[in-house]
Amino acid sequence: MTGLSKLLLAGFLSIVVSGAYFASSDHFTDAVTTSTAFSSGITAPEKAVADSDTGSSTTTPNILPTQTGMVSRVIDGDTLELVGGEKIRLLLVDTPEVHSDKECYGPEASALTKQLVPQGTQVDLTYDKQRFDRYGRTLAYVSKHGTGESVNAELIRKGYASLLVIKPNVARQVEYAALEAEAKAERRGLWGAC
């Protein structure tokens, strides 16, 4: 067997072993693979995670499952409902309240979310480690289908939301923290109005 043949065989075996692992496991983040796309819609972007003790960040592999849905309605700035009734809570995002205790910039945040993903918009939902919150809502990073435009990131970038980190869902924490720092520094949205 030539060196190239051995290399191809080793690569094939690692894909088969990885595929068998994923087929039998719910622990997507334990994978060794760092950038493989699967036909099921699971992708393997790199995840930047902040070390809470040192403040440093490292890049580690992360497998985040994705699915598609259609927006039925926007409930408020950080929550929407899909056709079929599934409620989606945007990960790492906290917008001011608009229902029980109306807060400064709540109506504006809700309006921006309605503008970004109006009723009938096809969206991609990407999940982190924990898929549901204590209220039964699905926790997801939401982007417009086919464009990759992140609703979560846009709300923070424009200053309509603050970063809300609830572990273990931290895949995009470093990215969103940088967006929030920029919005605060430039006094965008709620950072200048409230």
Handedness of CA 126, 129, 132, 133 (dihedral sign): negative
- Closest CA relative to residue 19, chosen from 4, 3, 39: 39
46 is a catalytic site residue: no
Answer for the pair 42, 64: CB distance below 8 angstroms, yes or no. Answer: yes
Q: Is 188 a catalytic residue?
A: no
Is 137 a known active-site residue?
yes
CA–CA distances in Å: residue 41 to residues 13, 69, 129, 133, 163: 21, 13, 16, 23, 27
Catalytic residue, candidates 46, 73, 81, 97:
97
Calpha distance 2→8 (Å, rounded):
10
What is the separation, in whole angstroms, between the first and last Cα of the chain? 69
Among 137, 157, 172, 180, the one annotated catalytic: 137
Annotated catalytic residue, options 46, 73, 86, 89: 89
Q: Which residues are catalytic?
A: 89, 97, 137
